[in-house]
Structure 1
Amino acid sequence: MSALTTTDAPEHNPEPTPPTSESASASASANGKGAFTAAQLVAALPGAMRKLDPRQMWRNPVMFIVEIGAAYTTVLAIAEPFLGGAADSGGSSVPGSFTWGIALWLWLTVIFANLAEAVAEGRGKAQAESLRATRTSTTAARVTSYDAQGDPAATNAATAPVSSADLTLGDIVVAVAGDLIPGDGDIIWGIASVDESAITGESAPVIRESGGDRSAVTGGTRVLSDRIVIRITSKPGETFVDRMITLVEGASRQKTPNEIALNILLASLSIIFVVVALTLNPIAGYSDAAVSVPVLIALLVCLIPTTIGALLSAIGIAGMDRLVQRNVLAMSGRAVEAAGDVTTLLLDKTGTITYGNRRAAEFTALRGISLHTLIQAAAVSSLSDPTPEGKSIVDLAKEQGFTDSAAPTGEIVPFTAQTRMSGLDLADGSQIRKGAGSAVIAWIEQEQALGQGHPLPSSELDELEANIERISNAGGTPLVVATKAADGTGQILGVVYLKDIVKEGLRERFAELRSMGIRTVMITGDNPLTAKAIAAEAGVDDYLAEATPEDKLALIRKEQDGGNLVAMTGDGTNDAPALAQADVGVAMNTGTSAAKEAGNMVDLDSDPTKLIDIVRIGKQLLITRGALTTFSIANDVAKYFAIIPAMFAGVFPGLAMLNIMQLHSPASAILSAIIFNAIIIVVLIPLALRGVSYRALSASKILSRNILVYGLGGIVAPFIGIKLIDLVVSVIPGF
């Protein structure tokens, strides 16, 4: 019952070697976090110019308005010599170069906005080129006929060389040492050491094997040892590398709901200010204070939120880019954004909170049972157990005198999430099981329910519970060993003590998450006592013990019904329902195809602890967007003090008191504001790409910090920047 409680190299494949980890690292350095150089700007400039196409610009309403204004001002600048001279502003004459100056900087404003997005996309395209090197067409040994028993894994199974591009979903291929794996798939037979550096950048080889949750392999990686049989699980052009290339190039990036909402808000504000600019001249005309069209366009551009409008798309692309740098493939921008809003984090105990390499440390036999009997039964049931725990039981048993030469054989019963047991059915009809205490007891009592067998003595159950409690309180995992005779009579032999070690530094990380308002829940198949001890040591808020796939799904739904957004990791087919239900489901790349299809993110490094970093990246994306929105709005407020007095000071002398920056002239003030409005976009591109520095703070503290730093900074920066630009503009003859 679950408990949720608080507190030899082949000749058929002579293909080129994929990029090494060094090249991958170089690529990562070139496109790494915070990398931003003048060379990137120059490389992105052609892309920025192509984006001037109105068919693309209309997707960004704010900058589309600026482009229309720039085009109209350019027409006016060309027509002015034929229409009687230059425009005027605020009753003062202005030089003929004024309109051209406004038009030039309006165009630069649009180009700079496109440049921000082009730089962000360019970083992704550089990564895509590196990934394409791993997508070289390889020759695969496709199984064409099986042996007499129909076994594709047999060494005499017939194979034929085919191009990896001709492989289809469900094909069976054989890969041996030295082969490049031709496509994404699951290992259905064998175990091998695989070099995944072409994908992950990690030079250390990893073990991939059939029959477990580390059976998935990725096309483009190389087999270093042994022989494996793979069932292809993806179509050509739909592998994870293909999808990753598409992602980092930005070709399939869709705007997230929050981004769409903010775009609507910015568009609404822009429309309001368009109306203000259109009605301003007729109203001002009653006081003979009419201003020129270029000045009105300059006012409009300074009023509308051009800064955030220019950087919004780049912020979203950069957020995706930061995930890719960490070898996380997000299926959509929505998932990245949802990671920033997560309030509940579900973490598997094994491999995430603990190292997962639980080892047998002690055999404890019940009274009346010889230690030799317990060791023999535990070892026999573990001989075919491929897990680290099973192997450790055999190792410990051998240290204590067990020999496998005379060990009985039988039908292997593998471990499943539903039964939470594994073991062996012997030829004489008897059975051996090892697993969770409650599962083993239920297995024995199942015969009693059928009117067979004998009930377990209460003293035996009490002794068992005492041993389980002792091991659990020490933070270990008790593994109960039992046998059942052919007549159905069951007997518990004793307990195996498995040690599990909590990873260092997790308590501090969970404390950070708690300060951000994120509740952490540890999920484990262990009994409640073990779960409680590990949870207390790790510092998680809640835990779910003896969890089945149904329990995980029920917990996620319960959290979501309470208004929480849930994130979790998984790698097995039994995790697929929960991954699909979670708002952020991170599947391990080594996991099953079902898990990867169910989740909305795939971690190519298969590191479950990366979920915490994904949440931080999501929050950094949201914080960066919020900070630059605050800066943009505050920035617009400050520019009013440069534009408005300059427009009407010649007609209404009283407005001169608003000229607190003491700008040189109305023309220089207006031009300086437009120049600053364009330059600030370029200045903020590195921040938009790198992201605002993230700190684990509550939402209210983050808001206060944004208002103080970016709100105040957005007000102060224009006063300083416009004044400095005005000093330069004022030396130009006529200004």
Structure 2
Amino acid sequence: MNTKKRHKPQVDTTGLYQRAIRQAFVKLHPRQMAKNPVMFLVWVGTLICALLTLFPALFGPVPGENPRLFNGLVTVILLFTLLFANFAEAVAEGRGKAQADSLRATKADTKACKVLDDGDTQFVSSTELRQGDLIKVVAGEMIPVDGEVIDGVASVDESAITGESAPVLKEPGSDMASSVTGGTRIVSDELVIRVTADPGKGFLDRMIALVEGAQRTKTPNEIALTVLLAVLTQVFLIVVVTLPPFADYVQNPVGVVILIALLVALIPTTIGGLLSAIGIAGMDRVAQFNVVATSGRAVEACGDVNTLVLDKTGTITLGNRLAEEFIPVNGYSLQEVANVALAASLFDQTPEGKSIVRLAEKMNAQLNFGRNAAEGVEFSARTRMSGTNLPDGGEVRKGAVDAIKGFVRSRGGQLCPELDAAYESVSHLGGTPLAVAYESEIYGVIYLKDIIKPGMRERFDQLRRMGVRTVMLTGDNRITARVIAKEAGVDDFIAEATPEDKIQAIKDEQAQGKLVAMTGDGTNDAPALAQANVGLAMNSGTQAAKEAANMVDLDSDPTKLIDLVTIGKQLLITRGALTTFSLANDIAKYFAILPAMFAGVGIGSLNIMGLASAQSAVLSALLYNALIIPALIPLALKGVKFRPLSANQLLQRNILIYGLGGAIAPFIAIKLLDVLIAAVGLA
């Protein structure tokens, strides 16, 4: 996983465990307990045992000496079982609430300088701002609400939210730098911002609600496991209820408390008690990784992802492509190509466009027109070109080679053979070739250089071992895309991709029954982000992208999607491992309680652990059943260590460690508890 270290906002965890202990008692309310069928049955059993402690003969005469003491001990152990389970959930919730309190301290009701329709300004409370309002924020002031920059250039300190101490440059007209978040602070210059969220619906509000768990709903896998546990509990309840007639028939009557003890031992209380904590902790791990998920469903879906759809630029390659070289064609000189490239990129504010301008200026390129008299033409995903309309009516364009060919043909121009040679030369280097033309003449090719991020091949190999297929999306031509895909080690690629191609690629994968994840930052990525099962938007991206996605990366690191797949799989592995351990535990508890119940009819010979007495066996089994829950809380919160293995390998490993281990460990623990209980004379 990504091990990049960064400053994180401090989360106040003072008194976390004290609050969790208090919450453990609050959660004993029947309305709270009823949400968990397994633990609700334990809660009912505790009440019945408490009554039998006060009135031992409530359900008829009870054999044996001092039943009140035994019933009381069983009641106390069952109560602690409930408290430990509630404590596990409260600790997981408490960590999220502590983080929410830290974020809430960032959010404050501040004064905002609202720009009125007539151009005047008025100071109003930030709670009075509505979507579409314009506000002016100057250096030193906090940005009160989410918005889009429409005027000005300024450095913004986002450390309160992202943990990154370096200020971020914000300016209008850029997908990556126009979106601002409420709670951040301007450190230089000033901005005019259009409000994009009403009060209570901003990004920080959603962050607080989600990490606090206020909007947490059970995920599909969690619901399915809860249903399975409820069915198992119901089956075991029926089994236990039908035992008394058989016991009476063999003249070995069984008390109600023993039956409750058997039921609690049979049902999977360990996973039942830790299930909520595992899910909440999964959300918390994502939050600690500087990602905000709209729901636990999104986190869990990461673990089930079959296909990753990744943009090339910024995800697989380092940042933005930069102009490396001008290649003249059609008999033009290098200086002439530089002049036309400068004219075509004059209004291009993207990093690629700025790098072309820098390279042209380095070669002393000149303009023969006034900038104020010219008009910029923005890049379009459909035309795949951008450029400048000159004052004399001429048109200068740069863009994908085939797009420029079409532009030149439409003006009656002729193509030259050197163009294809330059195109293939740049493509085979893994770079992006852009053709540049003035009217009906192609002047040359611009070589934009791409550098693959270190370690990407290893990360894709790791995903492949987990059964995750990777698809690279790029606007580059097929030759360049093939070179980059081969070098990076992705499984497939889609070249010359349009926004429609992105959506279609996702739909094609989903039609095969696969779960698809993708990352994006621009408005044109929003439809694909919404279509994907897991959509990760960059915090530096547009509001449309963030609204469409179900996850937002505060660090704006596109490769984070790969780490989220790991976190999601760790969540599923942890849940599966502890479920396996919980069910395997029951074997030892059967061998402790069943022989104790029927010792009088020969089944006592199954007492292979050599437990001291029937009461000691029951108390030891129940005590182990209670203590194993707090013992596993750290594992539930931290998660089982992730290893990039296939599903079959993970299953084998879980069975070996948590299945076999879960069957052996209780035998040892129950025997030790039995020795201790016998030594102090409790049974």
Where on the TM-score scale, by shorter chain, does this alignment land: which range? over 0.9
Counterpart position of 2:223:
260
Q: Does 1:133 align with 2:111?
A: no
1:682 aligned partner: 630
The answer to whether the aligner puts 1:433 opposite 2:397 as a matched pair is yes
Matches within 5 A, 1:336-355: 336-355=299-318
**1:4-15 aligned within 5 A:** none
Matched, 1:209 2:182: no
Shift of 1:407: 5.5
- DSSP-derived class of the 1:522 partner: strand
Instruction: Output the CA distance in 2 between the equivalents of 1:615 and 1:203.
Output: 27
User: 1:208-261 CA deviation, whole Å, 9 max, x = no partner?
Assistant: 221121211100001112222111111111111111111111111000111111
1:694 aligned onto 2:642: yes
Deviation of residue 392 (structure 1)?
Answer: 1.2
Q: Which residue of 2 aligns with 1:603?
A: 553
Aligned with 2:471: secondary structure? strand
**Pairing partner for 1:722 from 664, 667, 670:** 670
Matches for 1:275-294 after TM superposition, within 5 Å = 275-294=238-257
Correspondence list, 1:362-511, <5 A: 362-403=325-366, 409-445=373-409, 447=410, 453-457=411-415, 460=416, 462-484=417-439, 490-511=440-461
Tell me the secondary structure at the aligned position of residue 251 of structure 1. Answer: coil
Structure 1 vs Structure 2 CA RMSD: 1.7
Matches of 1:278 and 1:715, distance apart in 2: 26
Deviation (angstroms), 1:658? 1.7
- Displacement of 1:96 in angstroms is 3.7
Extract unaligned runs of 5+ from structure 2: 1-5
Offset of residue 443 of structure 1: 2.2
Aligned residue in 1 for 2:544: 594
1:43 aligned to 1, 19, 24, which one?
A: 19
Write the distance in 2 (CA, Å) between the matches of 1:413 and 1:226. Answer: 28
Shift of 1:622: 0.6
| TM-aligned CA distance change 1:407 to 1:401, over 3 Å | farther
Q: Which amino acid aligns with 1:76?
A: L
Shift of 1:191: 2.3
Please tell me the residue identity of whatever aligns with 1:131.
L
Q: Which letter maps to 2:132?
A: G
In the alignment, what sits opposite 2:3?
Answer: none
Inter-partner Cα distance in structure 1 for 2:69 and 2:103: 49
Would the aligned equivalents of 1:355 and 1:500 in 2 still touch at CA under 8 Å? yes
**Which residue of structure 1 lines up, in the alignment, with residue 37 of structure 2?**
61
Corresponding letter in the other structure for 1:727: V
Greater Cα offset, 462-471 or 688-697? 462-471
Task: Supply the AA of the counterpart residue of 1:100.
Answer: G
Cα 1:383–1:396 change in 2 (3 A) is: same
Instruction: Tell whether the 8 Å contact from 2:534 to 2:549 is kept in structure 1 after alignment.
Output: yes
Are residue 189 (structure 1) and residue 137 (structure 2) matched? no
Q: Return the offset for 1:615.
A: 0.8
Give the C-alpha shift of residue 475 in structure 1. Answer: 1.0
In the aligned structure 2, how far is the partner of 1:592 from the partner of 1:613?
22
Shift, 1:601, TM fit: 1.0
Structure 2 matches for 1:82-97, cutoff 5 A?
Answer: 87-88=62-63, 93=65, 96-97=68-69
- Structure 1 contact 596–602 (Cα < 8 Å) conserved: yes
Opposite residue 383 of structure 2, the aligned amino acid is T
Using the alignment, how far apart are the partners of 1:320 and 1:734 within structure 2? 43
Are residues 500 and 696 of structure 1, via their aligned partners in 2, closer, same or farther at CA, if it must alter by over 3 Å?
A: same
Q: Which residue of 1 aligns with 2:193?
A: 230
Aligned residues: 676
SS of alignment partner, residue 145 of structure 1: coil
1:652 aligns with 2:601: yes
1:673 matched residue in structure 2: 621
Report if aligned partners of 1:380, 1:407 keep a CA contact under 8 Å in 2.
no
Q: What SS class does the counterpart of residue 432 from structure 1 fall into?
A: strand
The 1:633–1:471 alpha-carbon spacing in structure 2 relative to 1, beyond 3 Å, is same
Deviations 1:324-355 (A, max 9, x none): 11121111111111111000001111111111
Mapped partners of 2:449, 2:87: distance in 1 = 55
Q: Shift of the alpha carbon at 1:83?
A: 8.7
Q: Which of the numbers 47, 53, 56 marks the counterpart of 1:77?
A: 53
SS of equivalent residue, structure 1 residue 440 = helix
Counterpart of 2:55 in 1: which secondary structure? Answer: helix
Secondary structure of the structure 1 residue equivalent to 2:389: strand
Letter in 1 for 2:174: G
Identify which range, 416-425 or 48-57, moves more after superposition: 416-425
Q: Which residue of 2 aligns with 1:123?
A: 95
Q: Which residue is 1:172 aligned to?
A: 134
3-state SS of 1:497 partner: strand
* Counterpart contact for 2:344–2:436, Cα < 8 Å: no
How many percent identity over aligned positions? 59
- Contact conserved, 1:194 with 1:222, CA < 8 A, in 2? yes
Equivalent-residue separation in structure 2 for 1:405 and 1:398 (angstroms): 14
Question: 1:455 deviation in Å?
Answer: 4.5
Which residue is equivalent to 1:533?
Answer: 483
Q: Within 5 Å, which residues of 2 pair with 1:283-322? A: 283-322=246-285
Matched residue type, 2:380: T
For residue 116 of structure 2, give the secondary structure of its aligned residue in structure 1: strand
Alpha-carbon distance in structure 2 between the residues aligned to 1:678 and 1:99: 16
Higher RCO (CA 8 Å, separation ≥ 6 residues): 1
Shift of the alpha carbon at 1:732? 2.7
Q: Determine if contact 2:84/2:629 at 8 Å carries over to the other structure.
A: yes
Q: d(CA) in 2 for partners of 1:383 and 1:177? A: 29
C-alpha distance in 2, partners of 1:532/1:224? 44
- Which of 591, 615, 629 aligns to 1:641? It is 591
CA distance in 1, matches of 2:152, 2:547: 24
Are 2:214 and 1:242 equivalent residues in the alignment?
Answer: no
The answer to which of 160-169 and 62-71 deviates more is 160-169
Q: Distance in 2 between matches of 1:108 and 1:663?
A: 23
* Residues 57, 63 of structure 1: 8 Å contact kept: yes
Distance 2:130 2:58 in 1: 69
Post-superposition Cα deviations, 1:6-28, rounded to whole Å, max 9, x if no partner, equal: xxxxxxxxxxxxxxx96x4432x
1:614-633 aligned at under 5 Å gives the runs 614-633=564-583
TM-score (norm 1): 0.90
The residue that corresponds to 1:100 in the other structure is 72
Q: Label 1:104 to 1:531 Cα distance change in 2 as closer, same or farther (>3 A).
A: same
Cα distance between partner residues in 1 of 2:55 and 2:191: 75
Q: 1:403 to 1:229 in 2, by over 3 A?
A: same
Q: State the match for 1:15 in structure 2.
A: none
Query: 1:326 aligns to what?
Result: 289
Q: Do the aligned partners of residues 303 and 661 (structure 1) sit closer, same or farther apart at CA in structure 2, a change above 3 Å counting?
A: same
Cα displacement string for residues 105-152 of structure 1 (whole angstroms, at most 9, x for unaligned residues): 101111111111000000001101100111011111111035xxxxxx
CA deviations 1:624-682 (Å, max 9, x no partner) are: 11011100110112210101011111x123x2332111111110000010000000000
Q: How far apart are residue 95 of structure 1 and its match?
A: 5.4
**Is the CA contact (8 Å cut-off) linking 2:157 and 2:168 kept in structure 1?**
yes
Q: Which letter does structure 2 place at the counterpart of 1:472?
A: S
The 2-side partners of 1:471 and 1:734 are apart by 83
Task: Quote the Cα distance in structure 1 between the aligned partners of 2:605 and 2:441.
Answer: 95
Task: Give CA-to-partner distance per residue, 1:384-408, whole Å, 9 cap, x none.
Answer: 2111111111111122122459665
CA contact (8 A) 1:434 1:481 kept: yes
State the partner residue of 1:520.
Answer: 470
SS at match of 2:680: coil
Q: Which of 143, 146, 151 lines up with 2:115 in the alignment? A: 143
Partner of 1:151: none
